[in-house]
Structure 1
């Protein structure tokens, strides 16, 4: 035996001795080290796999893949509670360039294993055309990895960014849409386009997804019950202008990227311009208080049932209204003639100035561009008379909400907003604080007393006050029988926190609807007696507050 080549093994020892040509190597290890080594190798393999997954959006020169990363990412949009309303997500599309196929037969076989449900006769014909085509859109991570392991240069992955709207229709009129070039074309996507493209910070809104959902559900329900053309609602904090909910239906799904051309899809909450009828009577009374012309107890004696203005009659909508009324009773009973007399006492110039001060006339600055502008109003003696009870003068529901907030929050100006801000803006008082003190008890009686027009909204525990408004729509230049029914509510009236305005566009009577009174009598009434706000919009508002009231009481009672 040649001693220079000696190989000795001891079976029951953890040592072996290897000596070849005078070189002796001693290696020692134990079983624990061996197990550790195995786990170390597995972790290295797993890390390499993760790195491969993480790097798929970048060019890989070694694999020859031509990946294009779309850097047009937009910032996410969330509600006040952090729920995503608009989000940018990435996805991979797989294309194939037949010119670069290494082995067509082998590639078809492998693709058939990974994607067994595709039409490979069609794919084979595309191979033969020698033209690039998209093979799979939004591929899964697992299938992407399988394709990349094929190592075929003809496979071309492209990473794309997709804008998704998780809440679908719920915020469509607010969030809006983008086009295929990543440009905002409506809503906040348009008005905040540059800021969203910078993608530095998440945009947080003042909206509450849960409140928005509940209000929209009630609007959709009563659109069916009262056979409306559409409806809208705005819920806002009267003290800081934060909009908690803004709904307009019908709405749309922005994920579909549809070109909306039907005018019925207008944003009725901000873009629609309407006559709101008796909702304006609150402004008339508030102007009288602000000018210190009348008090709630001021009496009006021998009010006629009808007066003429420029050859046209102005009459009471309810013939049972007494001829002798206090100012408070005029608003509670929604008297037309009394409102005219109050407006005439205020005068054209002061009333015009008051409406401008509270934001009813002219345009309003808002976070989205879909905002209507009131039709120009030509003032005069008769226009003053009709404007006093809400006839002939137009505005938007958004502006009505702003005005009611100012009148009831102590006279402080507020600017409605959808965007949550951290800066504290100093409040500016623009009305006498006595206006709110005098108007709020009257608005409460409109809901809480038998003479009021909004008894159906007297939800227990919330001290709701408000004013109804029923107006005929102008179609083709003349007044029609089609109505806009509105109710603007304030609650709680002892310390105003919220304004909720609900509007039904072209509502109809429902002969089979069951009204249940809230006075504890268990009295029920079948069928709508009249197509007025008191029987339509007030009913809707009551049911909305039933749903959202507990949430507001628990979540927003600490908001200043």
Structure 2
């Protein structure tokens, strides 16, 4: 709906009489065409034909809700300012007056539009605030109109911005779920309910940002996944942006690192290698691996970044808990190239994650799978995957060895994919590896992720960033992937930080960046997810000790 500047809810009786008189003298009529009210005669046909694509946006989009019905995106009515250049007597004067209310306008652009008398409709400013609309009205300029439009509003501001995406000024989906499910959102009034939990999302975003800022990281990503259903409870990418004003985002902030970014994640891949070795019968839990010396693979040498504590030999649990490259490569050599590839492929790591986002990135895989490729991939180098693809793969450890494709649509939505689990390892294998990762948190590299009462199990990953011809020793990508609670895992949490450093600007490992961030996330979201804390009873066994007052006289 559009109104000329002579219309207002606060129009005085005098102004109303003047307008009515002018209309009668001019034999004008109120012509309604395309939602615009014209008070300068009936030019509806020419007006409608001249503006075509310039018509105000009256497109209605369905609301987007979180899993609990919290409104994440809605549509509201706003007014936009347009002009009929043929009714503008002095373009320079009108532009100057408008800029007293709308100083962000470009003077030359507005003058050019107002001077284009070959057109009957030009936009001046879209989405005015009520105050701006009233002040423009009070200027009393002829030839201007207010056009009522529908505008997308994100009431939670930046919350889940990279999942939601945003629309353009005409209401077309541009990014995120707004783009991926644009047809669904415009052809149905039924709200679209996502698997996102606003409380979990807020907790993840808060801790991701705190970790990124405190470690001076260039970027970060975080995901919380329900392993039993494949539902994404939270997905975040840092830096954040406000989808209400995407044009104000800092460079790179609109990029979804959680789904569109691919990273070499490092040692978080080691549990996959160990799981494959155990599941294929190539690794016995009580056997010991010699990890004293670097291992030679062709002309290359693999060593441990830090020697295992007091270790000449290491058990499979120690290899995972203390992150031994040497031990992991020995396991991968037993598995072999073909079986290693098949196992990783079964985890969905050789393709883009099948999630309902157009920005899901395909992995970067080795061109040729050689012995050294197999060795480095076993500890997460030489293969780059998206955080969401990795999280979905890792969730098999919390789902009795079954893989579920990740989703952000509630199962009740007609567009939601069927929940079809795929077994990738045996349930006992997944349980054993979770136990190894629990040791990594209690006694290994992941100690900073431990949360009393919630039995976190997880693995650190610190990967040097690839550069042409090799790797940069001074720049890392760190990650920590966790399942909890370890004795009955349901949830997966992943935090990835791009180039975290200490105060001196030196690269730091996952143990001091991503791991503590995951611990803080778990501590915040566990109560939201109704995960009850568990504390072991440390009282000595045996009959209860009587108090002195309970003693009976003999």
Q: Gaps (5+ residues) in structure 1?
A: 1-54, 102-107, 513-527, 556-560
Out of 347, 353, 359, the residue aligned to residue 364 of structure 1 is: 353
| SS at structure 2 position matched to 1:337 | helix
The 2-side partners of 1:235 and 1:395 are apart by 17
Residue 399 (structure 1) aligned to one of 359, 376, 389: 389
* TM-score, with length taken from structure 2: 0.74
User: What is the correspondence of 1:497-512 to structure 2 with a 5 Å cutoff?
Assistant: 497-510=490-503
Shift in CA distance, 484/100, structure 1 to aligned 2, threshold 3 Å = closer
| Mean CA deviation greater in 406-415 or 503-512 | 503-512
Please state if 1:446 is matched with 2:446: no
In structure 2, what is the equivalent of residue 546 of structure 1? 523
Among candidates 473, 489, 493, match of residue 496 of structure 1: 489
* Segment drifting more, 491-500 vs 427-436: 427-436
Equivalent of 2:261 in 262, 272, 294: 272
Tell me how far apart the structure 2 counterparts of residues 146 and 508 of structure 1 sit (CA, whole Å). Answer: 50
Cross-structure match for 1:415 = 405
Checking the alignment, whether the CA contact within 8 Å between 2:262 and 2:363 is kept in structure 1 is yes
What is the aligned partner in structure 2 of residue 91 from structure 1?
A: 78
Q: CA RMSD in A?
A: 3.9
Pick from 422, 441, 464: which aligns with 1:472? 464
The 3-state SS of whatever aligns with 1:72 is: coil
Change (3 A) 1:280 1:145: closer
Alignment of 1:86-235 (within 5 A): 86-93=73-80, 156-235=145-224
Matched, 1:437 2:431: yes
Counterpart contact for 1:97–1:130, Cα < 8 Å: no
Report how far residue 417 of structure 1 moved: 0.9
Q: Could you tell me whether the CA contact under 8 Å between 1:178 and 1:257 is conserved in 2?
A: no
Q: Are positions 1:455 and 2:432 aligned together?
A: no
Tell me whether 1:82 sits opposite 2:69 in the alignment.
yes
Asked if the contact 1:408–1:435 (Cα under 8 Å) also holds between the matched residues in 2, the reply is no
Instruction: Determine the C-alpha separation between the residues in 1 that align with 2:265 and 2:131.
Output: 58
Shift of 1:544: 2.0
Are the counterparts in 1 of residues 275 and 425 from structure 2 also a CA contact under 8 Å? no
TM-score (norm 1): 0.74
Question: Contact between 1:57 and 1:159, CA under 8 Å: does it hold in 2?
Answer: no
Q: Which has the larger radius of gyration?
A: 1
Gaps of 5+ in 2: 1-31, 49-54, 89-93, 533-554
Q: Classify 1:209/1:325 alpha carbon distance in 2 versus 1 (closer, same or farther; 3 Å).
A: same
Distance 1:155 1:236, change over 3 A: same
* Cα distance in 2, alignment partners of residues 140 and 479 from structure 1: 51
Q: Mark the CA change 1:537 to 1:146 in structure 2 (over 3 Å): closer, same or farther.
A: closer
- 1:279 and 1:173 mapped to 2: Cα distance? 24
The residue aligned with 2:9 is none
Q: How many residues align?
A: 468
| Correspondence for 2:296 | 308
Name the CA shift for 1:285/1:164 in 2 (closer, same or farther; >3 Å). same
The answer on whether the counterparts of 2:296 and 2:302 sit within 8 Å (CA) in structure 1 is: yes
Distance 1:443 1:157, change over 3 A: same
Deviations 1:32-83 (A, max 9, x none): xxxxxxxxxxxxxxxxxxxxxxx99956799979797633222221111222
Distance in 2 separating the partners of 1:184 and 1:242: 23
Local SS of the residue matching 1:480: strand
Aligned equivalent of 2:4: none
Q: Given that residues 170 and 212 in structure 1 are in contact (C-alpha distance below 8 angstroms), is that contact kept between their aligned partners in structure 2?
A: yes
Residues 278, 492 of structure 1: alpha-carbon distance in 2 compared, 3 angstrom cutoff: same
